[in-house]
Amino acid sequence: MVVEETTRRVTRRRVRTRANLLDAAFAVFAAKGFGRVSIEEVCEAAGYSRGAFYSNFDSLDELFFALYRQRADLIAEQVAGALALDGPDLDVPAAVDRVTEVLLLDLDWLLVKTDFLVHAARDAQVAETLLEHRARLRRAIADRLARAQGFPRLPAVLGDVDGAAHAVVAAYDGVTTQLLLDKDVEHARVWLQQLLTALLTDGSGNPQRSH
């Protein structure tokens, strides 16, 4: 029992240390930019030693991917939750409204993500890993669309649910890029709602249904 309790305490401490490192890294990346931050700066912000860092992460790249997974999982959960409210039938305009109301639009995260995209563009291995994480979000969207009974016919340009998922993620990317410049979150949500409605319906908000 003593050994088990000690193990639980060590596990809880390790989980807390990892979470604190992630939170500190996020704040430092957002303030200074990825690529301009050292491991020492992350450790100082979190109040830990380099040993604590290396007991959780091999590199800043690995730490960033842990941050990315957190955000990607959150976004996938937000989208899946909004789409699940219709049950087996999917009311596309209503689902679009719900998605754009809850979807993560955080300026600090967008700054961090954009910095890392530039970094990944110059490193094929990093880019491959980042593409894998992005694919998880698209699969989450496509899986929900595929499971919807009586789903309206998609515009021909999208092809199938995979095409629709790519289009949804591309629209999100476009809106968040604009958001980085104008800092207008409310306008970003309105724009995203308009884009997704145009993509997934006939453009007027009415689903395109098969004959």
Q: What is the DSSP string of 15-59?
A: HHHHHHHHHHHHHHHHHH-TTS--HHHHHHHHT--HHHHHTT-SS
Positive or negative CA dihedral for 142, 146, 147, 152?
A: positive
The pLDDT, as a whole number, for residue 209 is: 42
Question: Residue 208 pLDDT more than 60?
Answer: no
Neighbours of 180 (CB within 10 A): 13
Tell if the pTM clears 0.75, that is, is over it.
Answer: no
The pLDDT, as a whole number, for residue 32 is: 93
CA distance 91 to 163: 19
Q: Which is more confident, 8 or 189?
A: 189
Would you say 103 and 172 are in contact if contact means Cβ atoms under 8 Å apart? yes
The pLDDT, as a whole number, for residue 155 is: 56
Positive or negative CA dihedral for 46, 50, 55, 56?
A: positive
Question: pLDDT grade, residue 207 (50/70/90)?
Answer: very low
Stated as kind and residue range, the H or E segment containing 138 is helix 124-147
> What residues does each domain of the chain span?
1-57, 59-211
DSSP letter for each residue of 81-97: HHHHTTTTB--HHHHHH
Beta strands in the chain (DSSP E): none
pLDDT digits (tens, 9 = 90+) for 120-146: 899 998 899 888 888 887 887 787 777
By the 10 Å C-beta count (0-12 exposed, 13-18 middle, 19+ buried), 200 is classed as buried
What CATH number is given for 59-211 in this structure?
1.10.357
Structurally, at CATH architecture level, domain 1-57 sits in Orthogonal Bundle (1.10)
